[in-house]
Amino acid sequence: MVEAEVKEADAGTKSGESLGSGRIEYVSYKDERQLPDIMALIDQELSEPYSIFTYRYFITLWPDLCFLALHEGKCIGTIVCKMEQHRNTFRGYIAMLVVVKQHRGKGVATELVTRCVQVMHDAGCDEVTMEAEVTNLGALTLYGNLGFIRAKRLHRYYLNGVDAYRLKLLFPRPPDTNSLFLEGGYNMESYQVHDCSKLDHHHGHNPHDHQHCGGHDHGHSHASQYHMYS
Partner 1 sequence: MDAAVPAGDQTIWLDASSFLSSVCNELSVGELVHGENFRLFEAMSALEIMDPKMDAGMATTGFKTFEEAIESGAAPIELTIPQLVDVFDHILACEATWQNGHALAQTVFSCLYLLNVDRTAPNALLHAFCKTTRASCSMIRTAIALADIHEEEDFITMAYGLPVEGEGDSRCLALLNTVEEVVARQLRGCKGGLSTKKKSLEDAEPLQDDPALEEGYCHAILCRLRFRKALYHILTYMDKPQGRGLEMARKHILVALSELQNIRSSSAFLSFGQAPDSVVESKERGSTASGRVAIGFDECVNRRLLAPTPPRSISILSWEDTLAYFEKLLQDLDRICSLPMTLGLEEILQFVMDYQKLKPDLFARARLQLLLLHDGKLLGRDPLAIALVKVFNVPQSVMANDHQTQAFTTQAARVTKQLLKIMCTNTAWQRRKLGRILQDWGNLLQQSKVTRDVSIEGSQLGDEVIQTENMLTAWVAEQTCWVVRQFLMLGFQLDLYSLSEFCMVYWYLDHVLLSALHYKLAKESQTTPAIDSPDSVKKKGKKKKGSAALKQPKTPKDGKFMYSVHLLQCYSDLCKGFIWMLTALTRDRKLLHRETIFNTEQERFFQRFDLLHKLMIPAPMSYFHYKDSTSQMHISVKELYQLSYDHFMAVQQHLQELGASAAKASELSAVSRTQLALEVKQMEQVSLRNRVALQIVHQVGPGDNLRVSFEFSQHPCFPVAVVKKS
Q: Which residues bind partner 1 (CB under 8 A)?
A: 31-33, 48-54, 56-57, 60, 114, 117, 121, 134, 144-147, 149-156, 159-161, 163, 165, 168-172, 180-183, 186, 191, 193-194, 196, 199, 202, 206, 208, 212, 223, 225-226, 228-230
Beta-ladder partners of 150: 167
Complex with partner 1: residue 3 or 176, whichever CB lies closer: 176
Give the Cα separation of 213 and 145 in Å (integer): 9
Complex with partner 1: residue 101 or 208, whichever CB lies closer: 208
How many Cβ atoms from other residues are within 10 Å of residue 168's Cβ? 17
Complex with partner 1: residue 71 or 220, whichever CB lies closer: 220
Complex with partner 1: residue 76 or 169, whichever CB lies closer: 169
Closest CB 108 distance from partner 1, rounded Å: 17
Q: What are phi and psi of 114, to 5 degrees?
A: -60, -45
DSSP string, 17-79: EE-SSSEEEEEE---GGGHHHHHHHHHHH-SS---HHHHHHHHHH-GGG-EEEEETTEEEEEE
Give the Cα separation of 59 and 65 in Å (integer): 8
Complex with partner 1: residue 12 or 144, whichever CB lies closer: 144
Complex with partner 1: residue 15 or 60, whichever CB lies closer: 60
Closest CB 18 distance from partner 1, rounded Å: 21
The rounded Cα 178 to chain-centroid distance in angstroms is 33
Closest CB 192 distance from partner 1, rounded Å: 9
Look at residues 69, 88, 67, 89 and name the one whose alpha carbon lies nearest to residue 79.
Answer: 67
Closest CB 21 distance from partner 1, rounded Å: 27
Neighbouring residues of 123: CB distance < 8 A, sequence distance ≥ 6: 83, 90
Closest CB 38 distance from partner 1, rounded Å: 14
Closest CB 170 distance from partner 1, rounded Å: 4
Give the Cα separation of 2 and 185 in Å (integer): 62
